[in-house]
């Protein structure tokens, strides 16, 4: 058992962990997005907080959202890996459980020679994708031995979930990964996966038959077979009653994987903050997620990210303070520098406000630079939970 | 498989890792060697670079050149240990392979009582050592079952390599480590080493017989039996095509152990830099090594080390920049403070210039102090390779 788990105890204190997705950045003309933004509320808060930098996985490693979030929730991202199929299912809002085998799927085009001529079926519209998924959902009711869920994504993408006992994720993907090749067989990669492989093969057979008349989308390619990993809940590990407030399905899904209650809320920041104000009292750990900062970074839009940080400062920070958490932590799951237009490996600024911090090294607001000098130092994201619990007086002493 | 290895991918970018051996130092009258040196080029480069400190092995541990370099090349120095005999063989420029059992040897003096009276044979001259080694090389051709190579070192030191199948390094050393004792038998320390032990015993017998008429060097003492460890290459691990530019045999040997191509060059810094200019284009990772800074530190000569750092700044830094690497890293393998006249455990300053760094915390040049405030933070030397690959955009994202 990890040390933190063995020391965790119940308490009356409340922790709020607020994630501005993709928060960390890189300098443009000498200043990062955080340094460029006018953030009077964060600066005021930083002056009474402890700062630090969190390394999401290890130096140089850029995380996806799954490992980045699991680390923040206190889970070693190398020990608990969530497969691609499961993340895709979570991302479109499917509820997944321990009996489910999930996979990503594409509609694709098969030529008259039986070879894949377009792995994305000409990027069919999202509307057509939904229509075809409904057709497949109808057809696959004929499959015995498992419930099969077919759920549309964007354009040519969809998700298939096989729900039954005894399923195993070691099934070979059917996507040949390049055109001019035939779809591969969903072979069982170990004996335990025989049942799964047979189900997948039957799914493919029924689908191709049902799609025969389609011009582009006359075939399906499946990959990323994954089951939900066995993950002990945050309650079991940390004795917390945790809740998630997140507008986006993937983050709700990740929170559910570690046993958080999902608080209903609308899609806007205001909706999430309203939910926080109304529901925080019922929980002693609240994770609240704001997506848009990451999106601006992914778009490579430095100015938009700066504006979103300023909006975060104006709208979000005061609302977080209003619920008076004993420990308030504001950070990102990873950096998404506009300069790189994508996730990066750079350590993420962390602000931790509590009655028991050493405080800032010097007045410098909440920036990557100030966090690099901060009293929390540099630590791995998976170690954050220990710091949060400690500042919330929820860890017993180790040893006598 | 280590995480970095699983994420590494090929690319078009180039990394140059320049090692000023023993770079880190300790203050004399308040300033370290780096702080005392006038280094306008390093200061200018530092202003557009990220800085940090690398801990060679773990806090407080002083490394030899072998583990210090392996760590910089991305190898855990505790997992991959290169035995003394192999390092000595590499140090005098021998090529060693997987069938080789290497050891360090001394000429020594045996008294009429059969006990060792001088473990260094009165420190015979290097010339005499070479002459005696040639004689032994001639004599040991009589040994069957293995090729034996006898190669002279400095003064009383030489190296013996036994080349055959089925050799094992678990052979007891024959050096009693103090005078007044008889040379020990080269006992097999496990059954697999029986063949090796017999070969060594035969080597000793033939040598003593051939040296019987020598006044001082009438005996040989062998120790540090070691085979070359199995090490996956940098190409296998990191998908790099790596090259080594180093004037000194040991560093060339260490580079060869991890699969680098050895670029021919002369003994002077200018020769190494010429080789870099001419050959860098053929490789995507170039390790270039400069020995003299370490030597001045080992000599305890603070001023000489300062001068060499100034020469490094003037001659080396501009030449490194001229090959326009995507990632340029300047660091040491370990610290060699003149104050200590030897290697030390102190973390080593690291400068990393790339398009994707957070930059320096503040203007402060390239010093231990500036690196301690740097945006790369403090990390283990074995983690440097992950940072280099990341900044070279050669690591895939971890997880979705």
Q: What's the mean pLDDT in A39-48?
A: 97
Q: How far apart are the first and last CA of chain A?
A: 19
- B399 closest CB neighbour out of A30, A63, A347: A63
What CA–CA distance (Å, rounded) separates B150 from B96?
Answer: 13
Chain B residues with beta carbon closer than 8 angstroms to that of A62: 390, 395, 397-398
What CA–CA distance (Å, rounded) separates A314 from A327?
Answer: 20
| Mean pLDDT, chain A, integer | 96
- A343 closest CB neighbour out of B4, B387, B397: B397
- pLDDT the model gives residue A97: 92
Joined together, the tokens standing for residue A38 give 């006018």
What CA–CA distance (Å, rounded) separates B134 from B143?
Answer: 15
Find the residue in B nearest to A343 (Cα): B397
- pLDDT the model gives residue A91: 87
DSSP state string for B2-51:
-HHHHHB---S--EEEEEETTBB---BTTB-HHHHS--HHHHHHHTTSEE
**Do the beta carbons of residue B329 and residue B17 sit within 8 Å?**
yes
* B358 to A62: CB separation less than 8 angstroms, yes or no: no
* Residue that is written with structure tokens 């298939």 in the block: A160
* B387 to A82: CB separation less than 8 angstroms, yes or no: no
CATH architecture of A3-80+231-391: 3-Layer(aba) Sandwich (3.40)
- pLDDT the model gives residue A361: 67
Q: What's the mean pLDDT in B250-272?
A: 94
Find the residue in A nearest to B390 (Cα): A60
- pLDDT the model gives residue A360: 76
> Is residue A383's pLDDT more than 80?
yes
Residue B286 distance to chain A (closest CA, Å)? 19
- pLDDT the model gives residue B139: 95
> Is residue B299's pLDDT more than 90?
yes
The domain made up of B86-227 has a fold known as Alpha-Beta Plaits (3.30.70)
For B49-87, write each residue's pLDDT tens digit.
999 999 999 999 999 999 999 999 999 999 999 999 999
What CA–CA distance (Å, rounded) separates B56 from A20?
Answer: 35
Percent of chain B clearing pLDDT 90 (strictly above):
95
For B94-152, write each residue's pLDDT tens digit.
999 999 999 999 999 999 999 999 999 999 999 999 999 999 999 999 898 899 999 99
Structure letter (DSSP) for residue A300:
T
**Do the beta carbons of residue B106 and residue B124 sit within 8 Å?**
no
DSSP state string for B186-240:
--BSSGGGHHHHHHHHHHHHHHHHHTTT-SS--EEEEEEEEEPP----HHHHH--
Question: Where does the pLDDT of residue B360 fall: very low under 50, low under 70, confident under 90, or very high at 90 and above?
Answer: confident
Chain A residues with beta carbon closer than 8 angstroms to that of B71: none
**Where do the structural domains in chain B lie, given as residue ranges?**
3-82+231-391, 86-227
**Do the beta carbons of residue A366 and residue A349 sit within 8 Å?**
yes
> Is residue B248's pLDDT more than 80?
yes
Q: What's the mean pLDDT in A274-281?
A: 96
For A258-267, write each residue's pLDDT tens digit.
999 999 999 9
Find the residue in A nearest to B378 (Cα): A378
Name residue B17's beta-bridge partners.
Answer: B287, B329
The domain made up of B3-82+231-391 has a fold known as Alkaline Phosphatase, subunit A (3.40.720)
Find the residue in B nearest to A337 (Cα): B356
Q: What's the mean pLDDT in A371-392?
A: 97
* Residue that is written with structure tokens 């917390």 in the block: A240
Angle at CA of residue B370, ends B366 and B371, nearest 5°: 80
> Is residue A364's pLDDT more than 80?
yes
**Do the beta carbons of residue B69 and residue B333 sit within 8 Å?**
yes
Residue A213 distance to chain B (closest CA, Å)? 34
- pLDDT the model gives residue A363: 75
For A300-340, write each residue's pLDDT tens digit.
999 999 999 999 999 999 999 999 999 999 999 999 999 99
DSSP state string for A125-159:
-HHHHHHHHHHHHHHGGG--SSEEEEEE-STTEEE
Find the residue in B nearest to A85 (Cα): B400
CB atoms within 10 A of CB B48: 12
What CA–CA distance (Å, rounded) separates B111 from B74?
Answer: 48
Chain A residues with beta carbon closer than 8 angstroms to that of B400: 64-66, 82, 84, 87-88
Q: Dihedral through CA B278, CA B260, CA A346, CA B330, nearest 10?
A: -50
Mutation site, A60, A226, A250, A337, interface B, largest B CB count within 10 A: A60
Question: Where does the pLDDT of residue A82 fall: very low under 50, low under 70, confident under 90, or very high at 90 and above?
Answer: very high
- pLDDT the model gives residue A344: 98
- pLDDT the model gives residue B168: 97
Percent of chain A clearing pLDDT 90 (strictly above):
94
Do the two domains B3-82+231-391 and B86-227 of this chain adopt the same fold?
Answer: no
Joined together, the tokens standing for residue B3 give 């995480």
> Is residue A16's pLDDT more than 90?
yes
For A55-79, write each residue's pLDDT tens digit.
999 999 999 999 999 999 999 999 9
CB atoms within 10 A of CB A303: 12
Chain B residues with beta carbon closer than 8 angstroms to that of A30: 359
Q: What phi and psi, each to the nearest 5 degrees, are found at residue A130?
A: -65, -40
- pLDDT the model gives residue B246: 95
* A81 to B383: CB separation less than 8 angstroms, yes or no: no
Q: Give the strand order in the sheet containing B15-20.
A: B261-262, B242-246, B285-290, B15-20, B327-331, B348-353, B50-55, B377-380
- pLDDT the model gives residue A359: 83
Helix, strand, coil percentages, rounded to 5, for chain A: 35, 20, 45
Mutation site, A59, A300, A373, A382, interface B, largest B CB count within 10 A: A59
Residue partners of B378: CB distance under 8 A and separation at least 6: A378, B52, B53, B54, B55, B347, B372
Structure letter (DSSP) for residue B75:
-
* A368 to B383: CB separation less than 8 angstroms, yes or no: no
Find the residue in B nearest to A52 (Cα): B377
CB atoms within 10 A of CB A125: 12
Q: What number is the ipTM of this complex?
A: 0.91
């Amino acid at each position: 058992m990890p040390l933190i788990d063995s020391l965790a105890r119940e308490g009356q204190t409340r922790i709020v962990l607020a994630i501005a997705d993709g928060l960390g950045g890189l300098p443009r003309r000498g200043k990062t997005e955080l340094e460029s933004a006018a953030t009077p509320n964060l600066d005021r808060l930083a002056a009474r907080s402890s700062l630090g930098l969190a390394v999401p996985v290890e130096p140089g490693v850029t995380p996806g959202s799954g490992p980045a979030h699991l680390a923040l929730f206190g889970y070693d991202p190398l020990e608990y890996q969530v497969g691609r199929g499961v993340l895709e299912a979570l991302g479109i809002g499917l509820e997944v459980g321990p009996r489910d085998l999930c996979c990503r799927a594409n509609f694709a085009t098969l030529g008259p020679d039986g070879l894949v001529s377009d792995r994305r079926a000409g990027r069919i519209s999202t509307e057509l994708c939904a229509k075809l998924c409904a057709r497949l959902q109808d057809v696959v009711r004929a499959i015995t031995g498992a419930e099969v869920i077919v759920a549309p994504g964007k354009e040519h993408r969809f998700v298939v979930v096989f729900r039954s006992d005894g399923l195993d994720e070691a099934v070979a993907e059917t996507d040949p990964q390049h055109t001019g090749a035939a779809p591969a067989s969903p072979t069982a990669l170990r004996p335990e996966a025989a049942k799964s492989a047979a189900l997948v093969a039957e799914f493919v057979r029924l689908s191709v038959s049902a799609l025969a008349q389609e011009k582009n989308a006359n075939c399906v390619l499946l990959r990323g077979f994954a089951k939900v990993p066995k993950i002990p809940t945050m309650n079991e590990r940390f004795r917390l009653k945790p809740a998630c407030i997140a507008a986006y399905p993937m983050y709700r899904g990740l929170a559910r994987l570690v046993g958080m209650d999902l608080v209903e809320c609308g899609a806007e920041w205001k909706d999430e903050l309203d939910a926080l104000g109304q529901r925080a009292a019922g929980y002693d750990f609240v994770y609240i997620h704001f997506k848009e900062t990451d999106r601006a970074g992914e778009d490579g839009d430095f100015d938009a990210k700066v504006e979103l940080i300023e909006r975060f400062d104006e709208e979000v920070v005061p609302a977080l303070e209003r619920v008076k958490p004993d420990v308030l932590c504001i950070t990102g799951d990873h950096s998404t520098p506009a300069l790189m237009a994508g996730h990066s490996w750079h350590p993420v600024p962390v602000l931790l406000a509590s009655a028991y911090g050493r405080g800032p090294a010097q007045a410098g607001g909440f920036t990557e630079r100030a966090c690099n000098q901060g009293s929390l130092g540099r630590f791995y994201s998976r170690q954050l939970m220990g710091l949060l619990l400690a500042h919330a007086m929820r860890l017993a002493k180790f040893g006598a």
